[in-house]
């Protein structure tokens, strides 16, 4: 079962309320997305830790409803 773009964005925003989140459906199938997440809460975290935090926000949906996520993260400049 595919995940809706709005649901993906809502899950990330729920964990990172200050974040700017941009979601792109890469294949038009609801299974392959790109997400760009910029949040002050990432400050001081390694890029790997930032990505793990976003994956944790998805609550185990990676590999199930969500097949692929091209993820970029950052802190506000």
Would you say residue 1 has pLDDT above 80?
no
Q: Is residue 33 packed enough to be buried (19+ CB in 10 Å), middle (13-18) or exposed (0-12)?
A: buried
Give the residue numbers spanning the domain of 33: 5-74
Would you say residue 60 has pLDDT above 90?
no
Band (66; pLDDT cuts 50, 70, 90) = confident
With beta carbons less than 8 A apart as the criterion, state whether 8 and 14 touch: no
With beta carbons less than 8 A apart as the criterion, state whether 35 and 55 touch: no
Q: How many domains does the chain have?
A: 1
Q: Which CATH number do you get for residue 70?
A: 3.30.300.90
Per DSSP bridges, beta strands 32-38 and 68-74 are: parallel
Nearest to 37 by CA among 63, 62, 11: 11
Q: Mean pLDDT throughout 41-45?
A: 97
Would you say residue 50 has pLDDT above 90?
yes
Tens digits of per-residue pLDDT, 12-34? Answer: 999 999 999 999 999 888 788 99
pTM: 0.90
């Amino acid at each position: 079962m595919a995940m809706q773009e709005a649901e993906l964005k809502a899950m990330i925003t729920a964990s990172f309320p200050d974040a700017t989140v941009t979601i792109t459906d890469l294949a038009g199938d609801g299974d392959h997305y790109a997400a760009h997440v910029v949040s002050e809460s990432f400050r001081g975290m390694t890029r790997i830790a930032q990505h793990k935090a976003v994956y944790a926000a998805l609550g185990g949906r990676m590999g199930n409803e969500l097949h692929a996520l091209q993820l970029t993260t950052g802190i506000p400049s």
